[in-house]
Amino acid sequence: MTVVRDFLARHAYIALAGGALLVLTRTVDFAPPPLVRADPSAHGGSAGPVPVQEFSPDLHHPQVMQLRLVLRRYDDPALPVTADDHALDDRGDVLSSPLVTAVVGTEAAVDQNVKLEGGDLQLRLALRATPRLSTGGATTLEHTLEVHSQRDGWIGRRERPVVIAGGVLGELTSRGQRWVFAVDDHLFSLDLEAVRPPGPV
């Protein structure tokens, strides 16, 4: 009995540390108070759906074209979204809809980072587009489009290409162009649309 009492007297700090650990793990709540909780929009982006930017009704010059790039994320990654069907557009939240005006024969550009999952996942959109007038007044669009995903993880940043496209699009003002792609558990569509005056005012 004396041996046990002497051991406890010499090593009382072990019992004290164990008791403190038990108190901390069982009774102390480390959750931050409401005033300092993480803000889901702190890394950028909108707290709600974003309206699609409208084409300008005052586009009167025959040598200009407006281009719009609309990025949607769908609420169910298993939805049968296709490149030639807009029936499920209402199931998608618009994350981005930049609108640029390009002069015929001059390159226009869109460079944008869209942050998801609190900033851990990013989509980088890069569009280069040059409208051209062909014989008869029809408009074509020379373009290159790149979409890359970036994810921050414990081993660093991982980037991968998602969409790489390019070429010449014709009759863009009547039908547009759509790409559908998935990144991890997210389903997206990206629409390239255009409007140009039919002729001189």
Question: Which of 71, 67, 77 has the alpha carbon at shortest distance from 113?
Answer: 71
Question: Which of 141, 49, 150 has the alpha carbon at shortest distance from 91?
Answer: 49
pLDDT of residue 95: 92
Q: Flag residues of the chain having pLDDT under 70.
A: 1-49, 57, 137, 153-156, 171-175, 197-201
Tell me if 69 sits within 8 A of 94, measured CB to CB.
Answer: no
pLDDT tens column, 168-182:
887 665 667 899 999
pLDDT of residue 84: 86
Q: For residue 80, give the amino acid letter.
A: P
pLDDT of residue 168: 85
pLDDT tens column, 24-48:
455 545 555 555 554 444 444 555 6
pLDDT of residue 148: 93
Q: What is the pTM of this model?
A: 0.70
Task: Report the first-to-last Cα separation within the chain, whole angstroms.
Answer: 107
